[in-house]
């Protein structure tokens, strides 16, 4: 269904894996924020074959929130796949990605909507004292430093996947496993404008973190090299004239 037919402006995309206790809280908080906004919206959640009751929690939340749409994978396929599926299923003109663990604060959504008026992509940058443990915090900082050095980029907080971007940005790229971390760089490579805004960061209350030194730094290193190769080898030309 086309955007013009649905009238949906904002699609909030949420990859889910073992977040049963966080789901109802997240949906309620998003709905509370969006009640004050004038645009039509939807929440698109994709359950990456959770081993807890996340799917049941999503079904219960849907009964209370008509804006919620839920998809469930047959097999566990990873965060990139869940994010890709939620974005492809979205019907809005503006797409937003937010984590299901409540570390991203839905109350920052209006700031994204304001900034996206002037840019193609808006990235959240966690400010203030981070609510992560020492190892996770240091691995994130190290990953940012290495990432920006390798990719010749200036994304302040690449580990934060709390973002909003125009649908044509996403439609311009091909997703591979691990590429959800590099979407702003991929968008820049296609000529889209990228900005950053400060966002809050809350401590996880329920469930366990899926991130550590292995998947935050070492596992993504090969992905960085692939993106660097793409950046260096992409075609770059403009037609001067035609007769």
pLDDT in tens, 169-219: 999 998 988 878 889 988 998 999 999 999 998 876 776 665 555 555 566
Q: Please, what is the average pLDDT of the chain? A: 85
How many C-beta atoms lie closer than 10 Å to residue 141's C-beta? 13
Q: What is the C-alpha separation between 231 and 190, in angstroms, rounded?
A: 10
Averaged pLDDT, 91-113: 97
CB 173 within 8 A of CB 99: no
What does the pLDDT average to over 13-37? 97
How does residue 236 score in pLDDT terms, banded at 50, 70 and 90?
confident
What are the b/e assignments for 24-55, b being 16+ CB within 10 Å? ebbbeebbebbeeeeeebbbbbbbbbbeeebb
Q: Choose from 113-122, 142-151, 169-178 the range with maximum mean pLDDT.
A: 113-122
What pLDDT was estimated at residue 1? 40
pTM attached to this predicted model = 0.82
- The pLDDT score that the predictor gives to residue 182 is 85
Domains of the chain: 7-233 (3.90.550.10)
Rounded to whole angstroms, the maximal C-alpha distance in the chain is: 64
What percentage of the chain exceeds 70 in pLDDT? 80
Q: How far apart are CA 176 and CA 223, in angstroms?
A: 9
90-99, 131-140, 141-150, 204-213, range with the lowest pLDDT: 131-140
pLDDT > 90 fraction of the chain, expressed in percent and rounded: 60
pLDDT of residue 150: 58
**Rounded to whole angstroms, how far apart are CA atoms 30 and 27?**
5
- What number is the average pLDDT over the span 74-80? 95
Measured distance CA(100)–CA(207) in Å, rounded = 10
Task: Return the SS3 of 188.
Answer: helix
pLDDT of 124 strictly over 60: yes
């Amino acid at each position: 269904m086309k955007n013009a037919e649905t009238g949906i402006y904002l699609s909030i995309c949420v990859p889910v894996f073992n977040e049963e206790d966080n789901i109802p809280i997240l949906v309620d908080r998003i709905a509370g924020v969006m009640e004050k906004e004038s645009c039509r919206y939807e929440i698109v959640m994709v359950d990456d074959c959770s081993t807890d009751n996340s799917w049941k929690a999503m079904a219960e939340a849907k009964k209370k929130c008509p804006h919620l749409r839920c998809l469930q994978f047959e097999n566990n396929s990873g965060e990139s796949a869940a994010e890709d599926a939620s974005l492809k299923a979205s019907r809005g003109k503006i797409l937003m990605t937010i984590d299901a663990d409540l570390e991203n604060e839905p109350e920052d959504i209006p700031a994204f909507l304001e900034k996206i008026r002037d840019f193609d992509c808006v990235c959240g940058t966690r400010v203030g004292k981070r609510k992560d443990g020492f190892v996770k915090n240091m691995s994130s900082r190290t990953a940012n430093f290495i990432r920006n050095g390798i990719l010749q980029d200036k994304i302040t907080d690449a580990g934060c996947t709390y973002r909003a971007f125009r649908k044509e940005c996403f439609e311009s790229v091909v997703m591979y496993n691990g590429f959800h971390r590099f979407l702003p760089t991929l968008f820049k490579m296609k000529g889209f404008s990228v900005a950053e805004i400060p966002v809050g960061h809350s401590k996880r209350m329920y469930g366990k973190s899926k991130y550590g030194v292995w998947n935050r730094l070492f596992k993504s290193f090969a992905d960085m090299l692939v993106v660097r190769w793409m950046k260096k080898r992409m075609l770059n030309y403009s037609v001067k004239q035609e007769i």
